[in-house]
């Protein structure tokens, strides 16, 4: 049995017993469907429709299973359609990007330029954010502590002072600490942005 949808249909090979059984049934039932006649006459395989017809028109149904002994059964399989070129190009691009990320991750420890750079993972970004928040809070606490020291601490050391003078001292101390904190924050930020030279790496001169 052949046709445009052969790949979607189950096929059973014709052995001598099946051919003989079909011939006997067709001789008795001349009004058999043309599909059965054509399949048995011209093909080496039959489908389920032909087997069902033979089962209905076989005299000794109890031994019908013997007719199928040793036959070859070809299971149906769908025809794979080619992928959309745009989808295929997109998949290749994503695969290449994934491979590039994995390669950069594997070679980061041996790359002196990228060894100290942060990862692109969410965990690394969260850690960087936490560091920045801690640095900001430390800056605020230091400035507030400097103001409190100038506003209250000096008075406790030297005695009573005027409110305006204490306020001025608090502002001065807080500004000094703020400038110092800004300097150290800028220095730390510059170190994180610039690649750190690997201390174990030796320069080779020709």
What is the full per-residue pLDDT of the chain (206 aa) written as tens digits?
Answer: 444 345 567 788 787 788 778 888 888 877 777 777 777 777 677 877 888 888 787 777 667 777 777 787 877 776 777 778 888 888 999 999 999 888 877 776 665 555 545 555 676 678 878 888 888 888 889 889 888 888 888 878 887 878 888 888 889 988 998 898 888 888 877 776 654 444 444 444 44
**Any domain includes 28:** yes
**Any domain includes 79:** no
Count of domains in the chain?
2
**Any domain includes 40:** yes
Nearest CA-CA partner of 145 in 116, 172, 174, 179: 174
**Any domain includes 3:** no
Q: Are residues 70 and 128 in the same domain?
A: no
**Any domain includes 205:** no
DSSP code of residue 150: I
**Any domain includes 93:** no
Rounded Cα distance, 71 and 44, in Å: 11
SS3 18: helix
User: 138 is in which domain, residue-wise?
Assistant: 122-192
């Amino acid at each position: 049995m052949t046709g445009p949808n052969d790949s979607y249909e189950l096929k059973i090979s014709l052995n001598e017993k099946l051919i003989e059984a079909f011939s006997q049934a067709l001789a008795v039932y001349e009004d058999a469907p043309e599909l059965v006649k054509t399949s048995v006459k011209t093909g080496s395989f039959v489908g389920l429709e032909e087997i069902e017809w033979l089962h209905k028109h076989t005299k000794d149904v109890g031994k019908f299973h013997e007719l199928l002994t040793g036959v070859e059964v070809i299971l149906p399989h769908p025809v794979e359609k080619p992928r959309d070129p745009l989808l295929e190009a997109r998949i290749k691009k994503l695969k290449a990007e994934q491979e590039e990320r994995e390669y950069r991750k594997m070679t980061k420890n041996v790359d002196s330029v990228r060894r100290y750079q942060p990862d692109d993972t969410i965990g690394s970004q969260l850690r960087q954010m936490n560091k920045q928040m801690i640095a900001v809070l430390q800056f605020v606490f230091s400035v507030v502590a400097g103001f409190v020291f100038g506003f209250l601490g000096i008075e406790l050391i030297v005695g009573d002072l005027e409110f305006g003078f204490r306020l001025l001292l608090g502002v001065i101390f807080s500004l000094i600490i703020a400038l110092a904190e800004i300097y150290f924050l800028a220095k730390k930020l510059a170190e994180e942005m610039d690649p750190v030279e690997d201390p174990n790496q030796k320069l080779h001169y020709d």
